[in-house]
Structure 1
Amino acid sequence: MKTAVLCLALTVVSLCAEAQITFRGVDASPMDMAYFPDRFTNVRKDGETAKVRVTYSRPAKKDRPVFEKLAPYGKVWRLGANENTEIKFYQDATIQGKKIKAGTYSLFAIPNEKEWTLIFNSDLDYWGAFKYQEKNDVLRVTVPVKKAPSTIEHFSIQFAGEGNQGTMYLGWEDALVEVPMTF
């Protein structure tokens, strides 16, 4: 009987301890995913598979000067917030006539006022761009910057296109970058 009471008491204490967990609020820069085709999951019911997926965190402008403080011109930026942004190609792709093999890469940018250099790098799973090493770059492309039609509050990545031709759009503040890809 004493054993049963002791077990019951331990169970109650254990449940009370677990029930006291406090969940933190929403991350200031929540994680998001962008697929091509847009709004995709890895495999659709019709059997079509995704061609590319980007996993990134979405920092907010919050009345801050983005390209002076958060993603300074001329410096390697993690293309988002928190952990470095990762791009997964489910099949080989071509960007500006340059081939990139199917696989997962970190995605960085060197933003400038008129153009951005996008960097696909083989290093994965680390925070920010603090450990970025140019020697591990797999592909670099330079893309022009356009003026966004309105201010983009949260850094955003989205895909558009059809069939084997898609465009990855990157936007923040008043900058809009288009990266055409073929698969």
Structure 2
Amino acid sequence: MKKLMLFVVLAVCTLGAFTVSAQTTDKSKRPSPPDTVKATTQNGVAIEVAYSQPALKGRAIGTEIAPYGKVWRTGANEATTISFSKNVTLGGKALPAGKYSLYSIPGEKEWVIIINKIAMQSGMEYKEAEDALRVTVKTEKTSPSVERLKFMIDPSGKISFVWGEKMVSFVVK
């Protein structure tokens, strides 16, 4: 009888562990769900951006979330990744084909786009020494406000993200 009870307890614990594990690995259930955008440019460069979509939830960009003047992971959860199938230029600076992480430094009128050599990392592990390049771009105002961060890739090579009333874009050639 003791063996049967022990077996039942172990079975219930094991099933519970699998259930918890399955729930925690389902990233779509996160408060900032994952998204991926892919496109091939007119120049034949396949681009992919994988990120998590934070929501504003009444917070202000620049003060309460994505603070101005500080490095931000340009998304939520793990670092946002960006990949290029061919060598490209961004802001006139050469960038070899490959997978990178994408960070930024938000500003009221300009944002610094940072392409970092370490692709797969926590969004909190940024190391400036590993930057492949940085480019400063102007922001645009959007209307209406966008609650969740959203990336877009145009066939021309223009990569944009919108969030709140801000749109940030940079061109890959």
TM-score tier by shorter-chain length is 0.7 to 0.9
Map of 1:19-168 to 2, 5 A cutoff?
21=19, 23=23, 26-37=29-40, 51-129=46-124, 131-161=125-155, 165-168=156-159
Q: In the TM superposition, what is the alpha-carbon distance from 1:66 to its structure 2 partner?
A: 2.4
Counterpart check, 1:175 vs 2:169: no
Q: In the TM superposition, what is the alpha-carbon distance from 1:95 to its structure 2 partner?
A: 1.4
| Structure 1 unaligned blocks of 5 or more | 1-9, 39-48
| Structure 2 unaligned blocks of 5 or more | 1-6
Q: Which runs of 4+ in 1 moved over 3 A?
A: 12-20, 22-25
Give the TM-score normalised by the residue count of structure 2. 0.81
RMSD: 2.4
Q: In the TM superposition, what is the alpha-carbon distance from 1:134 to its structure 2 partner?
A: 1.4
Letter in 2 for 1:33: T
Instruction: Tell me, yes or no, if the aligned pair for 1:35 and 1:50 is still in contact at 8 Å.
Output: no
Any idea what the Cα deviations from partners look like across 1:27-57, whole Å, max 9, x if unmatched?
100111111239xxxxxxxxxx761101110
Percent identity at matched positions?
A: 36
Q: In the TM superposition, what is the alpha-carbon distance from 1:166 to its structure 2 partner?
A: 1.5
Give the TM-score normalised by the residue count of structure 1. 0.77
Larger-Rg structure: 1
Q: Which moved more, 1:119-128 or 1:18-27?
A: 18-27
Map of 1:9-28 to 2, 5 A cutoff?
21=19, 23=23, 26-28=29-31
Equivalent-residue separation in structure 2 for 1:13 and 1:50 (angstroms): 55
Q: In the TM superposition, what is the alpha-carbon distance from 1:70 to its structure 2 partner?
A: 1.5
Equivalent-residue separation in structure 1 for 2:147 and 2:66 (angstroms): 14
Equivalent-residue separation in structure 1 for 2:76 and 2:129 (angstroms): 23
Aligned length: 160
Equivalent-residue separation in structure 1 for 2:120 and 2:165 (angstroms): 29
